[in-house]
Structure 1
Amino acid sequence: MKFDLHTHHSRCGHAEGEIRDYIEAALKAGLQVIGISDHSPYFGSKEDHAEPGIAMAKSEFTHYISEVLKLKEEYKDRIEVLLGVESDFFPEHADLYNQMYEPYPFDYIIGSVHRSGGVSIFNKNRWKGLSKNDQIKAKDEYYDLIRQSADSGMFQILGHIDAMKGYYPEFSRIQTKMVEETLKIIGGHGIAIEVNTSGKTKTVGGWYPADDILERALFYNIPITFGSDAHLPSRVGDDWEEVQRKLREIGFKEWVYYRRKEMQKVPL
């Protein structure tokens, strides 16, 4: 069974195409399950559309959900369409985000950290001039947010858990115990992490997370899922077979997707 749980569309302001385009792309790619998971609004902001080039407006949220549910019904005999969302994780607004999600029939919610220390994790300038100790501190802060997102109980999946390397490949060589500690906590909660193939579109040129993290994830019995993080319909299911082979090589026997927040296991 082929599935892809991480896709975007035009509402977020930095993806191309509409939801239907991603569903049609999934059909062409031979997928049986396609998850729609655009970026959540900035619910903690007073503005309706705080970051037009990053996330959808608050006023678009119900329209987004309605459109996915309508298409889920329309395509039910051809492909399973899942209602998801990629949620930013801000500890200070966690309760508010939970309140906003609670009324809706999400199949899953992806929790992703995109900002750490008040700066985008993809801002390569954040590393300029940092001492070794400051680099360790920055990496620890990032993983502490991921740890808190796992502890929050808000999410079924944690997104791209080493994406901070996207435009700074040296990130992976910063040594800190926080990565191991965070994986142990994720495993204790039984939350899935994704293999996200969008890293190939960044300077780092590979998937998230790195193989060594996947090996430790297996050790801690962390469920694994797949997400292309497609911002173009043509990337739906991108590298699915290659990821499947790699996970088998590492020793995984299954991967998972979610329906009505219940884990569905699929043999590798």
Structure 2
Amino acid sequence: MKFDLHTHHERCGHATGTIRDYIEAGIAHGLQVIGISDHSPYFASDEDRAQPGIAMAKSEFKRYVDEVLKLKAEYAGRIDVLLGVESDFFPEHADVYRDVYKLYPFDYIIGSVHLSGGVSIFNKKRWNGLSDRQKVEQKELYYDLIEQSARSGMFHILGHIDAMRGFYPAFSDIKTEAVDRTLKTIGECGIAIEINTSGKTKACGGWYPIDAILERALHYGVQVTFGSDAHVPSRVGDDWNEVAARLKEIGYREWVYYKEQRPQVVPL
């Protein structure tokens, strides 16, 4: 059973291809399940499209849902198309997002922290001139947001939980107990983290999260799932077999995908 729960398409403004293109790529790659999970609009903004090139407009959201549901019906029997969304997490606006998501029949929602301290986690300059102590503080701020997202009850999956290392590989070497504390919380909340293979496209190389985090996640009973985070159709299912093999080496015996907001267990 091969699945990929993290895919984007042209609506977000920084991916290419239609939803159909990603579904067809999933079939070509031998997937039985594909989740469509484009970036959520900035629902708390007064603007219809607050961040062109980052997320879809609020006015596009219902059309997005309707298109996925239409394609789900069209492809039934060939591939199981799931309705998802990759949602930003802003603690101060959580209720706004929660109220919108209640209106639609999502199979799952991925919660991802993209902004920490008001700055993109991928901003290469955010580390310039920081002392060791300040670097620890930045990492702890990031993991505090991830921990809050786990406790929010909004999400089934947490996305790329060490993506702050994307353009700053030394991020992984910053020591703090915040990582273990966050993983413990995720395990207690009964939600999954994704192995996200898009890290290979960034300066850090490899996948999110690093093996050391996956080992600690296993210790805390955290479920895992797979997401390519494809922004081009050719990356759908990227490194699926390699990830499955690595998870078995670490000690995992199963992983999950979500359908109708319930985990579907798949043996490794």
Range class of TM-score, shorter chain: over 0.9
Deviation at 1:44, TM superposition (A): 1.0
Equivalent position of 1:23 in the other structure = 23
Equivalent position of 1:76 in the other structure = 76
Aligned residue pairs, count? 268
1:234-245 maps to which residues of 2 (within 5 A)? Answer: 234-245=234-245
Equivalent position of 1:113 in the other structure = 113
Deviation at 1:103, TM superposition (A): 1.1
Q: Deviations over 1:201-244 (max 9, x none)?
A: 00001100000000000001100000000000000000000000
* Structure 1 unaligned blocks of 5 or more: none
TM-score, normalization by structure 2 = 1.00
- Runs of 4 or more, structure 1, over 4 Å off, are none
Deviation at 1:86, TM superposition (A): 0.1
1:203-218 maps to which residues of 2 (within 5 A)? Answer: 203-218=203-218
TM-score, normalization by structure 1 = 1.00
Could you say what secondary structure the match of 1:108 adopts?
A: coil
Q: Deviations over 1:136-167 (max 9, x none)?
A: 00000000000000000000000000000000
For 2:7 and 2:27, how far apart are their aligned partners in 1? 14
For 1:229 and 1:209, how far apart are their aligned partners in 2? 13
For 2:166 and 2:266, how far apart are their aligned partners in 1? 29
Equivalent position of 1:266 in the other structure = 266
For 2:195 and 2:171, how far apart are their aligned partners in 1? 18
- Report sequence identity in percent: 72
1:59-138 maps to which residues of 2 (within 5 A)? Answer: 59-138=59-138
Equivalent position of 1:229 in the other structure = 229
For 1:166 and 1:3, how far apart are their aligned partners in 2? 24
Could you say what secondary structure the match of 1:257 adopts?
A: strand
- 2:197 is aligned with 1:193: no
Equivalent position of 2:169 in the other structure = 169
Amino acid at match of 1:24: E
Amino acid at match of 2:175: Q
Could you say what secondary structure the match of 2:264 adopts?
A: strand
Amino acid at match of 2:170: E
* Structure 2 unaligned blocks of 5 or more: none
For 2:65 and 2:28, how far apart are their aligned partners in 1? 24
- 2:34 is aligned with 1:34: yes
For 2:216 and 2:176, how far apart are their aligned partners in 1? 14
For 1:44 and 1:117, how far apart are their aligned partners in 2? 17
RMSD: 0.3
For 2:45 and 2:126, how far apart are their aligned partners in 1? 24
For 2:219 and 2:136, how far apart are their aligned partners in 1? 24
For 1:136 and 1:111, how far apart are their aligned partners in 2? 23
Q: Deviations over 1:107-155 (max 9, x none)?
A: 0000000000000000010000000010000000000000000000000
Deviation at 1:77, TM superposition (A): 1.4
Equivalent position of 2:13 in the other structure = 13
Could you say what secondary structure the match of 2:109 adopts?
A: strand
